[in-house]
Structure 1
C-alpha cells in the first residue's frame, strides 16, 4: 500500500507533512508529523494522532526536533489545500508509519 511516504533532500527545512522526532522535553523520542509552521519558522505545530491531533497540535521549537527524511504527501496536500485533515485518515497514515518503523523499514 502506498502511504505517500517520500524521501526529502537532506538540506530541506521543516515542511508540513514531514515526520520528526522530539529530542528534548518530556516527549523526547516521540514521533510527530508537522501540521503547521509559525510565520518566523522557529516553531512548528506537531500532531501524533493520539494526544495531539491535527485540530489541537503541540507547538515546539524546531531546535528541539530531529528531522527525518520521511514526508507524508497526503497529509501535506490536505492541509495546504483544505486547511485541515480528517482525523481518522491521519490516524491511519500514522499507524502505517509506526508499523513500517517497527518492522525496520
Structure 2
C-alpha cells in the first residue's frame, strides 16, 4: 500500500496496549512504520509509532483529514475524534435520526 493510500486511513491496533482501538494514520515514516492517533490516548501532539504488521487496515479513509493535511493546516484532536467516530458510524450502517 502506498503512502498516499495510508494517510487518513482508519486502522485497528492488533498488538500492544492499544489493541483493538481504532486509530487514524497521519504519517508514513517508511515502508513498515507509520504514525497513528486517536485524538484521545494518542494525541496529535504525541502520535504513536506503529509497525504496519501490528495494524489491521480498513478501506475507510477520513477524506476531510487528508485534505486538511495536504493543505498543511494544523490538525486538532477533536477533529481526529470526530473523523474516527464518523468512520465507525458509517461502518455500522448509521442511518439513524439526526438532531435538529
TM-score (norm 1): 0.74
Partner of 2:78: 88
Q: Which runs of 5+ in 2 are unaligned?
A: 94-100
Aligned-pair Cα RMSD in Å: 1.8
Mapped to 2, the partners of 1:42 and 1:23 lie a distance apart of: 15
Partner of 1:3: none
C-alpha contact (below 8 Å) 1:19/1:72 kept by paired residues = yes
Matched, 1:97 2:83: no
Mapped to 1, the partners of 2:76 and 2:17 lie a distance apart of: 27
Mapped to 2, the partners of 1:89 and 1:22 lie a distance apart of: 20
Matched, 1:18 2:9: yes
Which entry has the higher C-alpha Rg, 1 or 2?
2
TM-score (norm 2): 0.77
- How much has 1:65 moved relative to structure 2? 0.6
Matched, 1:28 2:19: yes
C-alpha contact (below 8 Å) 1:54/1:84 kept by paired residues = no
Provide Cα deviations, 1:37-66, integer angstroms capped at 9, x if missing partner. 10x221100011111122221110111111
Residues 33-48 of structure 1 mapped to structure 2, 5 A cutoff: 33-38=24-29, 40-48=30-38
